[in-house]
Chains A and B, each alone.
Chain A
Amino acid sequence: MYTGKSEGEVIRIKGDLMAGFHHNLPIKALPYILEELQSARHPYLIASAAYALRGLKTPLPQTVPYLLKAAGNLAHGDDTFFFDQDEHTTALKELFKTIKWHGAYAKAYIANVTALSDKLYLDREGKKLLKEAINAINGDARQTGNCCDEDLFCGGNIKPFGGIKKIKSLVLEDQEGGQIKYGEFFNGKPAVLVFFYSRCDNPDKCSLTITRLAHLQKQLEGKAKIAAITYDAEYDVAHRLKNYGLNRQIKFNNDVRFFRVNADFEQLRAYLDLGVNYIGPYVNKHTIELYVLNSKGEAVASFSRLQWENQEVINKVNSLLNSKKTTTAQSFYSILLSAGMAFFPKCPLCVMAYLSAFGISGMNALWVGNWLFPAMMVLFGINILVLAMRCRTNRFFLPLYLSCTGVVILIGDHLLLHEKAVTMAGLICILAGALTNAWGRRLQQMFGFGLVSA
């Protein structure tokens, strides 16, 4: 919607859209409003956002800090606007009206609201409006219940659009002018990826994003790769990327780099559904966005619109690190169990084969033969049952078919045929079932087969 629009038009459109929520603001739209209160500098955006917030059915106490932040952002100058036909207003007036509307819901922040009289330079009318807001908060006897039931946090898991394949071959140029492919850099470790551009004139957006990224870098202590990609590849050449990062305390190394994407940035933009728009080569609108990538470079979580909490990002990175260990362990034990069962002696001949392999007379082992076959059948039954459950979950049934085939062959051989070759065939089928169970997804992706749905 904003592509090709001037910054003034973008501000006007956004402001008008937000003002439209004044009569009914759904909770889903709340992050968009809070984003403007937290980081916008233009008074029309602040005014519209404050005006829109009064469209909530019930005030939310946790929105008050955003209103207080917005009041501070007005240090760059307020302006007059019209929302209702006959009355002109200003951004500061709208903020005070909305704080007043909160009433008892703002009680937890009464000290911060009162402190506005020192932080902001208010004229007589401003002081009067602030006093009204404070009186409304103190005089409101409503019971507000739990203050933080609604989760306003905007981080969460995401399903990226499109496939990772095209993105992996994207060429990134780093702050030293070196080039590396996306798939090469974002590989082997989880990564934290943010977007910015050096010509951003809003200190609460890109500059703060990179400064906070530097804090995150310290806290992560090398557990994850850190990257920032510029929206403005034409202008943000290598030395600009480097200086921007260094000036904000980023410590560059092999795992911590800033990039520009010279060609095919649109693919990355589409993959992550980036919140950026352009007028010609210039960014005319963008949001704050941080992505957490797994060790294959796939985006698994995003924190957008509002400034993220570092601990939430660290928790996500840690969960990726832990799940990687678990998956590896699960695969190993799964193969071990299946292979063990495949090679477990199922008949006296198998016992003889094993024992003779270690140089012991096979005939001495015959005494175990009476209970061996029933024991094997029980184990096979458990194996088939577990496989069936796993295959059903993954919708990948090849392992089950192979293992069942192997079991049938072995039973038939034991009862009827007594042929070594047939026994071997049965064993091979069971082992193949075990291996395809462990590596099924990769086979599916590589060859596109797997008898996915049965």
Chain B
Amino acid sequence: MNDNSNSPDQFGQQIDNTVNEYKASAEKLVQANTYQEKEDALYTMHYVHAEDRKAGVKTLQIATDKKEVINLRVKALQIIGNYLYNNPAAVKKIIGLLSATRENTKVKRAALDALLAIRFASPALLSQMPAFREGLRSIIHDRDPELAAKAIEQLAAYNDPGVLNLLHEGLKNPAVALAPEAKAIQLLGIQHTGGFSDTIRERLQKSRDTDVQIEAIHALSGDPAAQDDIQNILENKSKQKYVRLAGLSALNATAPHKFLESAKKIIGDPSDYNDVKVASLNAIAMQGRYNEISGDAEFLDQVKSLTGHDNAIVRKESSNFLAGHESYLENA
């Protein structure tokens, strides 16, 4: 038998050891009174079990005690997630840390991380959602940018109209911006019925920032009014590669006929970039759109000519494309 494999008995023993280790650490934590004892216990525990009431209460007490040493509070918040999952009273106390005035920034960050870790499915957090949203709103202007950014992002995910409006105002007037431009556009793009399309379209047209352009393209990918702008970006060889690729993806998703027009131009242009050519071929092939190019002999000749390209990836992708087309013809 391989030395690295575990027999069922060995595996069972490992589990028993883990459980015993946890019980020992949890017992230590419950009994701990001094800083050293608490530190030793907290740093050996990886988590507090959801059903371990004694350890959970002690961990919660450490986390929420303003007189406790900061690093112990942070550590307590890092391991309390499981215990919070089904415990609305505990969740409420952690939410209280977010909106507490004069609370240490590290503690607030750890508290927010603990809540965000359980946000998807925790019934306890769901029952406290009104308080959680209020807690998040209380920190969107926090002096700690990381804390504020996480809160803004989460509220935007909840389509919070207040935060979305502030982000929108920030795009129009950078002096009051709540988040960096690219991030603001990314968050506003979550809600396409928010009425932000005109502003985002304007930023796409005017901004020279690559990240802003990419996020704007993603945000506008479902907007018919932006299709021409996106098509122009895709065909513009002076645009940065990743911006063009974002445009390719967006146009292919929402205006496939326009994308095909542009793809043909790109593939037929010897001076255009290899990455964009390859991505265009891939996009047509992956969607099985051979029926749309089958009658275009000129286009197929252009793809054939790419099979002798200097670049190995271009040669490979063009060959794969033609093979796919052959297969389509056989089955048609």
Contacts and interface: CB of A to CB of B under 8 A. Distances in A.
Interface stretch (A6-14, A131-139, A248-256): A6-14
A121 B126 contact: yes
Given A77-B126, A78-B130, A80-B134, A123 B197 contact: no
Interface in A311-334: none
Interface string A109-142: 0000000000011111010000000000000000
Given A78-B129, A123-B128, A199-B222, A9 B195 contact: yes
B254 A235 contact: yes
B161 A283 contact: no
Which residue, A79, A120, A283, has most C-beta atoms of chain B within 10 A? A79
Interface string A253-279: 000000000000000000000000001
Interface in A1-36: 4-9, 11-12
Contacts of A121: 88, 123-124, 126-127
Given A282-B192, A282-B193, A124 B123 contact: no
B128 A279 contact: no
Number of contact residues on B: which range applies?
A: 20 to 34
B193 A6 contact: yes
Contacts of A235: 222, 224, 254
Contacts of B89: 123-124
A280 interface: yes
A123 B191 contact: no
Contacts of B193: 6-7, 279, 282-284
Interface in B171-213: 191-198
B130 A280 contact: no
Interface in A169-227: 199
Interface string B212-229: 000000000011110000
A14 to B, nearest CB: 13
Nearest to A75: B126
What DSSP secondary structure best describes chain B's contact surface?
A: helix
Contacts of B161: 8, 11-12
Contacts of A78: 129-130
A8 B155 CA distance: 14
A62 interface: no
Contact of B194 (A8, A77, A124, A234): A8
A90 interface: yes
Given A8-B159, A8-B194, A235-B254, A79 B129 contact: yes
Nearest to A12: B161
Given A7-B193, A123-B88, A280-B197, A234 B133 contact: no
Contacts of A122: 127
B158 interface: yes
Contact of A90 (B130, B165, B196, B254): B130
A282 B193 CA distance: 6
A162 interface: no
B225 A281 contact: yes
Interface string A89-103: 010000000000000
Interface string A149-177: 00000000000000000000000000000
B126 A280 contact: no
A80 B134 CA distance: 8
A8 B131 CA distance: 20
Contact of A234 (B92, B123, B165, B224): B224
Contacts of A75: 126
A90 B129 CA distance: 10
Contacts of A234: 224
Contacts of B88: 121, 123-124
A332 to B, nearest CB: 51
A123 B92 CA distance: 10
B164 interface: yes
B92 A281 contact: no
Which residue, B129, B191, B196, has most C-beta atoms of chain A within 10 A? B129
Contacts of A8: 159, 161, 164-165, 191, 194-195
A432 to B, nearest CB: 57
A78 B160 CA distance: 12
Which residue, A124, A234, A283, has most C-beta atoms of chain B within 10 A? A234
A206 to B, nearest CB: 14
Nearest to A123: B88
Nearest to A239: B256
B192 to A, nearest CB: 6
A190 B302 CA distance: 53
A284 B197 CA distance: 13
Interface in B128-147: 128-131, 133-134
B144 to A, nearest CB: 24
Given A8-B165, A11-B161, A123 B129 contact: no
Contacts of A7: 159, 191, 193-195
A79 B133 CA distance: 7
Nearest to B119: A77
Nearest to A9: B195
A357 B11 CA distance: 110
B189 to A, nearest CB: 12
Interface string A366-401: 000000000000000000000000000000000000
13 contacts: A6-B196, A8-B194, A8-B195, A12-B161, A78-B129, A80-B130, A123-B92, A234-B224, A279-B195, A280-B195, A282-B192, A282-B193, A282-B222
Interface of B: 88-89, 92, 123-124, 126-131, 133-134, 158-159, 161, 164-165, 191-198, 222-225, 254, 256
Given A4-B195, A121-B126, 16 more contacts: A6-B196, A7-B159, A8-B164, A12-B161, A77-B126, A77-B158, A79-B133, A80-B130, A121-B88, A121-B127, A199-B222, A235-B224, A235-B254, A279-B195, A280-B225, A281-B224
Give 4 closest A-B pairs by Cβ, nearest first: A6-B195, A8-B161, A121-B123, A123-B88
